């Protein structure tokens, strides 16, 4: 009986509430102008791996600048333009000139910045080669066009008809002058009434087996006639018989 009473008394007794955790004091902000105290990490904890040491509170950490590039932009441009000047001949004069300019400037910048200048040098020389080849191609093109134009003017056109060389020449007259000079003369008619003609008249003076030759030129208008005279130096003496003929007219 007593045992049950004790049991009932224990069951009805209220449970004591657990004690609340002690309150932690919230740190107040430091007065203006003072540096806040450094907060230490709990024992057994270190800084996160890979991040190094934690900077002091209130100190600004400047970001690390990236390393300088070893590539020169003008050198790359000179190399590209130099290759284009060799591949595309039609633009070689412009691209080759730009490659030379960019290459010279890029080489100077590379020396000042301590960068490699191989691309700028290569682009500059490729531009020089492309520029020379373009000049040679232009000169060759002009020469070929010039020869083709001259040949087209020299060749007869389809609508042109050859002009016949038609003439009539009289029998020559021979007269000896002082010193053995023989004067051969006659008349020449141009039977072509379309245009004037120029003729070369070849004459020959003969004395037995001896022969002396001479020539003269005559320009005759269309359908006109002229008198011509040729002087031939001979050894014909006064009183000797001799003769003269026209050997050719061309």
Distances (CA, A) of 169 to 77, 199, 200, 201, 242: 79, 11, 12, 10, 21
- Asked whether residue 193 falls in the same domain as residue 237, the answer is yes
| Number of domains, the chain | 2
Q: Band of the pLDDT at 89, cuts 50, 70, 90? A: confident
Looking at per-residue pLDDT, the higher value among 105 and 43 belongs to: 105
pLDDT of 4: 53
- The domain boundary residue, chosen from 123, 151, 179: 151
Among 21-25, 48-52, 62-66, 78-82, which stretch is predicted with the lowest mean pLDDT?
Answer: 48-52
- Asked whether residue 231 falls in the same domain as residue 181, the answer is yes
Taking only the tens place, the pLDDT of each residue in 6-48 is: 545 455 445 555 556 666 555 566 666 666 566 555 555 555 5
Residue 221 is part of a domain; what is its CATH number? 2.60.40.10
Which domain covers residue 238, as residue numbers?
167-249
Q: Band of the pLDDT at 178, cuts 50, 70, 90? A: confident
Place of tokens 């300088």: 68
pLDDT of 48: 56
**Does residue 219 lie in a domain region?**
yes
User: What's the predicted TM-score (pTM) here?
Assistant: 0.36
- The domain boundary residue, chosen from 151, 185, 208: 151
227 pLDDT above the threshold of 60: yes
163 pLDDT above the threshold of 50: no
Q: Measure the CA–CA gap between 204 and 201, rounded to whole angstroms.
A: 10
- The domain boundary residue, chosen from 151, 181, 206: 151
């Amino acid at each position: 009986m007593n045992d049950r009473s004790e049991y009932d008394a224990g069951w009805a007794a209220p449970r004591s509430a657990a004690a609340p955790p002690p309150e932690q004091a919230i740190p107040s902000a430091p007065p203006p102008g003072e540096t806040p105290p450094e907060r230490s990490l709990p024992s057994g904890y270190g800084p996160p791996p890979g991040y190094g040491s934690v900077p002091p509170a209130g100190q600004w950490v400047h970001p690390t600048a990236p390393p300088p590039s070893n590539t020169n932009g003008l050198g790359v441009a000179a190399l590209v333009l130099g290759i284009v000047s060799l591949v595309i001949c039609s633009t070689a004069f412009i691209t080759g000139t730009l490659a030379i300019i960019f290459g010279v400037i890029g080489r100077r910048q590379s020396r000042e910045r301590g960068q490699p200048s191989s691309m700028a040098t290569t682009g500059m020389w490729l531009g020089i080669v492309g520029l020379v080849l373009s000049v040679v191609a232009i000169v060759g093109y002009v020469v070929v066009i010039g020869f083709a134009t001259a040949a087209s003017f020299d060749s007869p056109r389809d609508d042109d008809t050859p002009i016949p060389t038609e003439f009539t020449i009289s029998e020559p007259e021979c007269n000896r002058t002082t010193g053995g000079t023989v004067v051969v003369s006659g008349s020449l008619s141009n039977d072509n009434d379309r245009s004037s003609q120029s003729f070369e008249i070849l004459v020959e003076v003969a004395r037995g087996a001896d022969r002396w030759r001479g020539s003269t030129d005559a320009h005759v208008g269309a359908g006109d006639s002229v008198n011509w005279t040729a002087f031939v130096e001979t050894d014909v003496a006064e009183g000797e018989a001799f003769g003269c003929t026209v050997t050719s007219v061309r």
